[in-house]
Every structure is written in C-alpha cells, then in structure tokens.
Amino acid sequence: MSKQSCSTVMMIRPAHFGFNEETAANNYFQDVEARRVLQQASEKARAEFDAFVDQVSEKGIEVLVFEDTIDPRKPDAVFPNNWISLHDTGQLITYPMCAVSRRPERRMDIIQYFIDTYAVESYVQLEGAEDSGAYLEGTGSMILDRDHKIAYACRSARTDEALFRSFCSQMGYWPVVFDAVDASKQPIYHTNVIMSVGIEWVVLCLEAIPEGTEKQQLLQSIANSGKTLVEISLDQVNQFAGNILQVLNKKEELFLIMSDTAFNSLKSEQREILFGDAEPIVVKIPTIERLGGGSARCMLAEVFLNPNS
C-alpha cells in the first residue's frame, strides 16, 4: 500500500475559536464581515468539530482528539497541522509559526503523548527560526508526495524558502518551490489551499502560479510522479477545493475528507478522478471556514508514526 495516506489523524477540539486579527493580515480567506455577524462562534465551532470527528470515526479511521487548553486563548488551535508533523521514519517535528498568538499551540503535553505512545526516534524543533523571523508552518506550508519523496511549497510570509529547503535536506525530499498568488495578486499564504497530493492524483490551481520556469518545473515534477493532475480554479480555491486530505481506515479502505463547501464546488469530471477509489467524507464546517480561514485539511494532523510495540 502507498505511504501517501495514513489511518490515524490528530485533531484539537477548540476552546476559544474565533477571528484572529493577527493571522488575518496575510490570510485572505478569513471573512472579516463574518467576524461581525456570527454570534457564539466558539460554540458553533465545537459543534462542527464534534460532528466532523463523528463522521471520520464512523468510517474506521482513528481520530486522536485533544482538548484545547483554556489558557492561554488560542483562536486557531483547531488547525494543528501547522505546528506538528509525525513521520513513519520516526521524526516528530515542530514548526516556527508566523503569528505570535499561534505559538502556544505547540503543547508539550501533546508532544509527550506521542513520545510515550509511538516509536519516536527524534524530536526535531524548528521553532528557533522564529527568533530570526523565518517561518515554516508544517503541512500548511508544504505538500508532501511521500511516495516519491517530493515536497512542494509556495513562497509566502509563512513559508521561508531556506527553511523549506533545509527540511527537505534533513528528511530526504526533493524540493519544488514556486510563487503563487490569488486574484488580487496577493501571495497565497499556505500551499495547502491550492494543492493536495493523493495516491493517484495531484490537485493544483495552475491559475494561481505565474508563467515561467518554476511553473514548468512544477508540472514536470507532477508528470514524473505519474499522478494525474486535477486542475482547480481560483474560484474553487476560494471554496476550499484544494484543502482536502486522503486517508485510510484500519481496513485500508480509502477516503477523501473535504468540506461541503469544497465538495459542492467540484465539477463532475473532477469528482470522477478524486472519488475513483475513495469514498468522500463531506463535513459541514462553515463557522470554522469563515472565521478561521481554513478548512478540513487544516484541521487534521496526520499520524504516520508507528505505535510502540
């Protein structure tokens, strides 16, 4: 079976979900108007979160749920994939975060749980780069083709190219880096809003990537991987069609997790490829999407670590 998809994910149940003014500076998916009109956002977010967990668990996918801590307040705690990654080679990696308000999300109690429960060979702490103003926000910043050891990243305030290349060198990945912009020519803040890699396909918004050598190198890398390119539009990016994740259950049955916003934006030919071998798990998370500016994939930290024997 492919190494691309895991059968265990980690999720953080939010305690104080809300609009984060600091992250809104370069996350153009956050809805400023929604901040003003949505009431009881934290309660709504928890209800959406709980329904999400139930849907995924019912399919036989293991979900490790950690409760957000009350203090300090962490409005984006529901998006753990930005601060931690857990690899089948035994590495547990924590990452430097652009927003100061997000750095407390890196919790030692969660890290210690994985060290105690799984075969962690090394704990790699990259967050020291924050002192020099360099950031790399986990699998938000990087899209990993684990089968072919290729890592993709678009440059942004949250994705430092030198740090990305250093990660690739340490982990044995081939780096593919490029620029990407939205319709207003603002840099795409996280690669995982325009790109996702599955076992048989790569979802990518080519419209966001300027013409040139880097775009051609990106397309050549995808072609060399043998995976089918599924192109999405910038309008579909705004509906979170790029923010999706393919997972397995314990029976190694394949599923594709996405929000109903993303699902409803897909064309029939895109669905045919994406759901060819995978059953869709479609979750309703409108509060989290509108206020948090992230969708289903952002809420899932993949656990590739092997359990202790």
**Residue-by-residue DSSP string for 102-168:** GGGG--HHHHHHHHHHB---EEEE-GGGGGGT--B-HHHH-EEETTTTEEEEE-BTTB-HHHHHHHH
Please give the pLDDT value at position 38.
47
Cβ–Cβ under 8 Å, residues 273 and 230: yes
pTM as predicted? 0.92
Please give the pLDDT value at position 43.
87
Please identify every stretch of the chain with a pLDDT value under 70, giving residue numbers as ranges.
Answer: 1-2, 18-39
Please give the pLDDT value at position 127.
98
Whole-number Å distance between alpha carbons of 252 and 264? 26
Q: What share of the chain is helix, strand, coil (3-state, %, to 5)?
A: 35, 25, 40
Whole-number Å distance between alpha carbons of 37 and 32? 9
Cβ–Cβ under 8 Å, residues 203 and 236: no
Does the N-terminal peptide bond of residue 72 adopt cis geometry, omega within 30 degrees of 0? yes
Report the helix count and the strand count for the chain, using DSSP H and E.
10, 15
Please give the pLDDT value at position 28.
53
Please give the pLDDT value at position 253.
97
Q: Quick one: CA torsion of 99, 105, 238, 232, rounded to 10 degrees?
A: 110
Please give the pLDDT value at position 19.
52
Q: What is the DSSP-derived secondary structure letter of residue 187?
A: B
Name the strands in the sheet holding 62-67, side by side, starting at the edge strand that comes first in the sequence.
Answer: 62-67, 8-13, 301-302
Name the residue ranges covered by the structural domains of the chain. 8-302
Please state whether beta strands 8-13 and 301-302 pair in parallel, antiparallel, or not at all (unpaired): antiparallel
Q: How far is CA 39 from CA 42, 51, 241, 287, in A?
A: 9, 19, 26, 10
Whole-number Å distance between alpha carbons of 254 and 198? 10
Q: Which CATH number fits domain 8-302: 3.75.10.10, 1.10.10.10, 3.40.1180.10, 3.40.190.10?
A: 3.75.10.10
Q: Quick one: CA torsion of 75, 77, 81, 86, rounded to 10 degrees?
A: 160
Q: Where are the beta strands (DSSP E) in the chain?
A: 8-13, 62-67, 84-86, 91-94, 122-125, 143-145, 150-154, 174-178, 195-197, 201-204, 228-231, 245-248, 254-259, 279-283, 301-302
